[in-house]
């Protein structure tokens, strides 16, 4: 053991020497900030190599100090020494610029020697003095860690702080008399780091200062960027972690919330069909045909009936085939290839290895996350669009079309819908304990809202009892309209609250139920759809029910063929496939056909893609729907 520790020490010392790190033993009275100044580094640099120093910092603690980025080596500087003057008589057509070039002097040097030139123009016959200099090459060493920096156009405090690797507060400390809003041409003190250590400022990016107590999770909600995406943009995060005051590079379009355009009109692509080449489409789905005994009809039927995944896949497949038929009637021909991924990564890899997809116009699927990731990654080089039809991909590559909008967009759409109500609507929020943070954030959107949490278990105060007393809500609902947000994933809690709210409705009191996330809490067997209709239950959704009152060729054809109403999965298969074919026929490829100004709508789904900063396409088109006479219809 002793020899092993000695070996580790030797290796550690070799690593320190190889990377030119320094060890520092903390003395009494020293702080991280004072040590950082001593070695010309930042506190962030020290914490990156000594993460324990945040919690345990005391005398005799040994810290690893990295090399300073401060430019402290001798630099060459040219100085000009004035030797004297010579006389020059101005000739015809001579200019100041011509004289500066002829005598290797600056215009300012020439004017200093001839003060009249500040106010008068050069004239033929003037006798002027030409200064003569000699150049002295000297070496100079910086004796401090600060240099002067001239603010450039479009640069603010955040960009300059990012450029020099400091926080905005550190920049302000270096410049106590700096204006709140800095202007181009302002002279600031900045760290005197080496030129190669300065971070490049790019117009395509914005810059964000991390606030105290902010986490990657909270930044995901605020900037709509994952930890992986932030680290991709800011590689230093992988070693330093997230620190308050850090300035991060973010996409220029990153905002505090996902924004939805509301002024985009539905585009009828039938009027834009110009590309009638045969469209080559692949449909990759987990049919799992290897598990079906095709010789036994009853067994096959039984498997389809009891296997929910297979039922969804087959419904989607039927909808996709009907979309091909509808496109054919518009003159769009399709070469469709179907692949069974068997819901297995190895099978998906084999499909990719055995087939050339480089000339496909689009690939729909697969459904399983890791299978989809393999396909999208493999086809990215050939720019083959891969459509995430039934799932959200792990990573939105540049060739990925994510048809399911982000959850944050659904929540924001619902909040904006309620805020747009022109009436003076009262808001009440009811939540279980698991949705406490969401509900408190919602209350900030509606400052006057009353907030009620479910009761805790009497025996175990750490557990949610999932109920409210009826008396707690008595007197809350007065005459007029009240919006009630119910945030829960527990169907028994949802059922009891929905029943209770129905009891408060009368001729003078209108209660409208809403939620930011219609999850499984509203789909349990105890949920009464009649009660939901009474409460005009509103929520943001990817799809709406089709309108039976309007002539609908797909629904009629489906009922005629199968004797039943199409499921939402059949409608989705139809909508996604037809949208792809229509877009491909209206432009050269799917990328060109998918600007964020084009929004399409079909049976139950609509699509408007915006480009994710990291290259992919994400659907931004959502509905606000409501329960109306036991049907889910679009809310106005």
147-251 CATH fold? Membrane-bound Lytic Murein Transglycosylase D; Chain A (3.10.350)
Residues 6+ apart with CB under 8 A from 627: 529, 532, 533, 535, 536, 537
Structure tokens at 548: 């039976």
The SS3 assignment for 30 reads coil
For residues 111 and 118, what is the distance between their CA atoms, to the nearest angstrom? 6
Question: Which of 544, 561, 463, 474 lies closest to 509 in space, CA to CA?
Answer: 474
So what's the pLDDT on residue 394?
87
Class of the 21-68 domain?
A: alpha beta
Residues 6+ apart with CB under 8 A from 511: 477, 481, 482, 484, 501, 504, 505, 535
For residues 624 and 635, what is the distance between their CA atoms, to the nearest angstrom? 6
What contacts 24+ positions apart, CB below 8 Å, involve 174-178? 174/146
Handedness of CA 321, 323, 327, 333 (dihedral sign): negative
Please report the beta strands in 361-422, taking only residues with DSSP state E, as ranges in sequence order.
362-364, 386-388, 400-402
Pick the CATH number of 75-140 from 3.40.630.30, 3.30.70.270, 3.30.499.10, 3.10.350.10: 3.10.350.10
Question: Which of 357, 359, 361, 360 lies closest to 374 in space, CA to CA?
Answer: 357
For residues 339 and 285, what is the distance between their CA atoms, to the nearest angstrom? 7
So what's the pLDDT on residue 99?
92
Handedness of CA 246, 250, 253, 258 (dihedral sign): negative
Handedness of CA 546, 549, 553, 555 (dihedral sign): positive
Residues in the chain with pLDDT values less than 70: 1-20, 40, 44, 68-78, 137-145, 203-204, 221, 252-264, 293-297, 299-300, 422-424, 548-551, 612-614
For residues 261 and 620, what is the distance between their CA atoms, to the nearest angstrom? 8
Tokens 């809490």 map to which residue?
A: 521
So what's the pLDDT on residue 12?
43
So what's the pLDDT on residue 68?
66
Class of the 269-405+572-617 domain?
A: alpha beta
So what's the pLDDT on residue 209?
81
Show me where the domains of the chain are located: 21-68, 75-140, 147-251, 269-405+572-617, 408-541
So what's the pLDDT on residue 427?
95
So what's the pLDDT on residue 516?
95
For residues 283 and 580, what is the distance between their CA atoms, to the nearest angstrom? 12
Q: Backbone phi, then psi, for 530, in 5-degree steps?
A: -65, -45
Is the separation of the CB atoms in 520 and 489 below 8 Å? yes
Handedness of CA 99, 104, 109, 114 (dihedral sign): negative
Q: Backbone phi, then psi, for 103, in 5-degree steps?
A: -105, 5
Residues 6+ apart with CB under 8 A from 177: none
For residues 339 and 375, what is the distance between their CA atoms, to the nearest angstrom? 12
Is the separation of the CB atoms in 242 and 163 below 8 Å? no
So what's the pLDDT on residue 9?
41
DSSP bridge pairs for 283 = 338, 364
Is the separation of the CB atoms in 632 and 518 below 8 Å? no
Kindly report the number of other CB atoms within 10 A of residue 404's CB atom.
18
For residues 223 and 219, what is the distance between their CA atoms, to the nearest angstrom? 5
DSSP-assigned states of every residue in 94-119: --HHHHHHHHT--HHHHHHH-GGGGT
So what's the pLDDT on residue 632?
83
R_g of the chain computed on alpha carbons: 34
Give me the architecture of the 408-541 domain, per CATH.
3-Layer(aba) Sandwich (3.40)
The length of the chain is 636
DSSP state of 324: H
What secondary structure, in 3-state letters, does 592-621 show?
CCCCCCCEEECCCEEECEEECCCCCEEECC
Is the separation of the CB atoms in 361 and 277 below 8 Å? no
Structure tokens at 625: 């729907």
Q: Cα(first)–Cα(last) distance of the chain, in Å? A: 74
So what's the pLDDT on residue 308?
86
Is the separation of the CB atoms in 607 and 578 below 8 Å? no
DSSP bridge pairs for 341 = none
Task: Answer yes or no: same fold for 75-140 and 269-405+572-617.
Answer: no
């Amino acid at each position: 053991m002793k020899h092993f520790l000695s070996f580790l020490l030797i290796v550690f010392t070799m690593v320190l020497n190889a990377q030119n790190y320094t060890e520092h033993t903390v003395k009494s009275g020293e702080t991280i900030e004072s040590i950082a100044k001593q070695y010309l580094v930042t506190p962030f640099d020290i914490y990156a190599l000594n993460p324990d120093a945040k919690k345990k910092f005391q005398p005799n603690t040994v810290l690893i100090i990295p090399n300073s980025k401060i430019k402290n080596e001798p630099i060459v500087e040219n100085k000009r020494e004035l030797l004297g003057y010579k006389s020059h008589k101005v000739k015809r057509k001579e200019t100041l610029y011509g004289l500066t070039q002829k005598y290797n002097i600056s215009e300012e040097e020439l004017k200093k020697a001839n003060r009249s030139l500040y106010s008068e123009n050069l004239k033929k016959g003037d006798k002027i003095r030409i200064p003569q200099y000699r150049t002295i090459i000297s070496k100079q060493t910086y004796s401090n860690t600060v240099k002067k920096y001239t603010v450039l156009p479009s640069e603010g405090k955040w960009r300059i702080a990012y450029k020099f690797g400091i926080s905005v507060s550190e920049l302000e400390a270096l410049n106590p008399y700096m204006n709140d809003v800095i202007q181009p041409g302002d002279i600031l003190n900045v760290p005197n780091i080496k030129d190669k250590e300065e971070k490049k400022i790019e117009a395509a990016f914005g810059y964000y200062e991390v606030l105290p107590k902010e986490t990657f999770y909270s930044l995901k909600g605020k900037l709509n960027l994952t930890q992986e995406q932030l680290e991709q943009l800011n590689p230093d995060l992988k070693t330093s972690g997230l620190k308050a005051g850090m300035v991060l590079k973010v996409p220029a379009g990153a905002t505090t919330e996902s924004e939805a355009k509301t002024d985009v009109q539905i585009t009828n692509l039938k009027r834009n069909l110009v590309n009638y080449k045969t469209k080559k489409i692949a449909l990759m789905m987990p049919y799992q045909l290897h598990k079906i005994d095709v010789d036994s009809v009853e067994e096959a039927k039984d498997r389809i009936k009891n296997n929910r995944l297979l039922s969804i896949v087959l419904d989607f497949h039927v909808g996709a085939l009907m979309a091909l038929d509808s496109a054919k009637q518009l003159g769009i021909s399709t070469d469709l290839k179907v692949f069974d991924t068997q819901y297995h990564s190895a099978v998906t890899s084999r499909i990719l290895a055995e087939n050339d997809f480089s000339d496909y116009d689009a690939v729909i699927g697969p459904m399983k996350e890791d299978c989809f990731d393999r396909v999208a990654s493999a086809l990215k080089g050939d720019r083959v669009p891969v459509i995430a039809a039934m799932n959200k991909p792990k990573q939105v590559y540049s060739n990925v079309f994510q048809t399911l909008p982000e959850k944050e967009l659904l929540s924001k759409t619902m909040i904006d819908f309620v805020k747009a109500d022109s009436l003076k609507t009262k808001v009440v929020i009811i939540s279980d304990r698991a949705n406490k943070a969401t509900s408190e954030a919602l209350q900030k959107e509606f400052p006057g809202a009353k907030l009620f949490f479910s009761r805790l278990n009497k025996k175990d105060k750490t557990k949610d009892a999932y109920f409210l007393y009826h008396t707690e809500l008595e007197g809350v609902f007065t005459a007029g309209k009240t919006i009630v947000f119910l945030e829960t994933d527990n169907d028994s809690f949802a059922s009891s609250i929905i029943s209770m709210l129905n009891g408060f409705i009368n001729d003078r009191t209108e209660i409208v139920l809403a939620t930011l996330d219609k999850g499984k809490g509203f789909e349990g067997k105890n949920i009464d759809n009649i009660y939901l209709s009474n409460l005009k239950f509103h929520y943001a959704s990817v799809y709406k029910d089709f309108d039976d009152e309007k002539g609908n060729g797909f629904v009629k054809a489906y009922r005629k063929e199968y004797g039943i109403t199409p499921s939402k999965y059949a409608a989705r298969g139809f909508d996604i496939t037809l949208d792809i074919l229509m877009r491909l026929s209206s432009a050269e490829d799917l990328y060109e056909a998918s600007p964020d100004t084009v929004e399409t709508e079909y049976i139950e789904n609509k699509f408007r893609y915006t480009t994710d900063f990291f290259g992919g396409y994400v659907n931004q088109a959502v509905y606000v729907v409501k329960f109306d006479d036991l049907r889910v219809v679009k809310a106005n």
